[in-house]
Amino acid sequence: MNKTIIAVGSTRKPKLHAVSEALRQFAHLFPDTEFELVGREVETGVSHTPSSSEELMRGARHRAEALTQIAAKENQPWRYFVGLEGGLDVIQAHPRPNGSSPVELAAATTNRRVFLEGWAYVTDGTRGHFGRSGAIELPEALAHEVLDKGIELSVAVDRFAGAIGVRDNQGAWGVLSANLIARQEAFRVALVAAFAPFYNAKMYEAAAAAAM
């Protein structure tokens, strides 16, 4: 059986477990392959709490590409390189003047909707692909702490939840969804999507050929 090592740009358990869960779903599409994970801390190249999809994508890609550089420098036999980045996406909203609920009116005062997202970037050193989780809306009070006061999301969520170390457990996802969606699950979805062009290569290659 061939061993394939996947390098992950983090040593945090929710991220490593998310990769493991994603692999469990599509490992059967890589016959005679045994997967092994290696976690390494790398610089993200973005702010502590990204505030746009573009910044989240840049952070995920930066993590993965930092791993390719480490592999080249240390002569590591890593096959795939994974970057995971969680943060916010801010969308400018158009307030509803009539019949708005109190929550909608509160959001309208800042003319924005703020969503928590998870992004993944997977590369084999030659080509790379992105994947995204779903999104969950932040209450304006929490968004204000992060975006207007500059407090790191993990710190703000700890205060919001009245707990310590939420990021390494259920994450902001768990707090906001009453633990129906954990941080690990959000990253798993993003990873399954980002890995799709590798485990479903025939479909992607056929689509590319048809477009030529």
The predicted pLDDT at position 171 comes to 85
Amino acid type, 77: P
The rounded mean pLDDT for the chain is: 90
Neighbours of 15 (CB within 10 A): 26
CB 88 within 8 A of CB 49: yes
The predicted pLDDT at position 109 comes to 53
The predicted pLDDT at position 10 comes to 97
Residue 43 DSSP SS3: coil
* Burial status of residue 141 (CB atoms within 10 A of its CB: 0-12, 13-18, 19 or more): exposed
How far apart CA 9 and CA 187 sit, in angstroms, is 13
DSSP 134: E
The predicted pLDDT at position 166 comes to 73
Quick: pLDDT tens for 132-158.
999 999 999 999 999 999 999 989 988
CATH number at residue 191: 3.90.950.10
The parent domain of residue 13 ranges over 2-211
* Residue in 133, 7, 19, 112 with CA at minimum distance from that of residue 63: 7
- Span of 47-51, 118-122, 166-170 with lowest mean pLDDT: 166-170
Quick: pLDDT tens for 19-55.
999 999 999 999 899 999 999 999 999 999 999 999 9
Mean pLDDT of 187-197: 97
The predicted pLDDT at position 136 comes to 96
Domains in the chain, number: 1
Cite the DSSP H helix spans in the chain: 13-26, 53-74, 102-108, 140-143, 153-161, 171-176, 183-199, 201-211
- Calculated CA dihedral for residues 54, 202, 31, 81, nearest 10 degrees: -20
DSSP 170: T
